[in-house]
Amino acid sequence: MMILQVQDVTKRFGGLQALTDVTFDLPEGQILGLIGPNGAGKTTLFNVINGVYAPNKGKIIFRGEDITGKPSYEVARRGMARAHQVVRPLHDLTVRENVMVGACFGREGHSLTQAAHKADAALAQVGLAARADQPSGLLNVAQKKRLELARALAARPFLLLLDEVLAGLNPTEISEMVDTILKIRDEGITILMIEHVMQAVMSISDRIIVLDYGQLIAAGKPEEVAANPQVIEAYLGDPEMTARLMGE
Ligand SMILES: Nc1ncnc2c1ncn2[C@@H]1O[C@H](COP(=O)(O)OP(=O)(O)OP(=O)(O)O)[C@@H](O)[C@H]1O
Ligand SMILES: [Mg+2]
């Protein structure tokens, strides 16, 4: 079954066409990697999928239902959660309290007491249980990324949108986070992940889609996409990415 269907999605900001006729499907239980150069429209696509923006054209179908233009809080209630690219925890709240926010506004809409239990379970899942009572402002970058993931998980989603959760992490932290993501997938949560860390996204994704200037230029298995001349060309201005794509 397709958990998510994105059909002909176009999004304009004034004169800028950020997304043009983007179409793809995501089967339940898979990890789909979304890659593309800076400014390609990846985060904008997430914003359209989870209802931050309505598209100018096209449809978002989630679990068989048309959610196009529905507000984010309603999309969250239906079982779609998101970890943001720019992580901004509420610094005066503890780690647990931040994660409780996710449980309260998620699919199950918990009371505060239940939310605390759900938060602790999510913190254990991401390996942050020991920090539950600390103010979140004290966390380092890697811990803040885990907090953001826990907040999304506490919403008990069917579909998880991850926007660059590996950015800013060192190699050890990346491999720990990759293990965490695979465990989440094994529990039956479908994952759509935006990622610039090429080796990691290529190794854990079932399929990859590539955005360039707002258009989907490739879709397929990781090895097919990495060998696609159009994809390599899209990254040509970026020697580091080209080297990674070529498998260096
Ligand atoms: N709210 C907005 N208003 C106007 N322009 C926007 C808005 N949001 C995004 N854009 C523009 O849309 C384009 C796509 O931006 P987006 O953030 O989706 O790219 P991205 O692929 O996520 O890039 P990155 O890899 O750097 O995160 C950019 O040109 C950006 O400046
Ligand atoms: Mg982005």
Three-state DSSP string of 17-38: EEEEEEEEEEECCCEEEEECCC
DSSP state of 220: E
Q: H or E stretch including 13?
A: strand 2-13
Domain boundary assignment for the chain = 2-79+158-245, 88-156
The pair of three-digit structure tokens given for residue 15, joined into one six-digit string: 């004169």
Ligand 1, residues 11, 12, 16: which to mutate, most atoms within 8 A of Cβ?
16
Which pLDDT tens digit goes with each residue over 1-58? 999 999 999 999 999 999 999 999 999 999 999 999 999 999 999 999 999 999 999 9
pLDDT < 50 stretches in the chain: none
The letter for the amino acid at 58 is G
Q: Point out the ligand 1 atom lying closest to the alpha carbon of residue 211.
A: 21
Residue with tokens 């060998």: 227
pTM: 0.94
Distance CA(154)–CA(185), nearest Å, equals 15
CATH topology of domain 2-79+158-245: Rossmann fold (3.40.50)
Which residues have CB less than 5 Å away from ligand 2 (the ion)?
42-43, 85
Centre of ligand 2 to C-alpha 19, Å, is 13
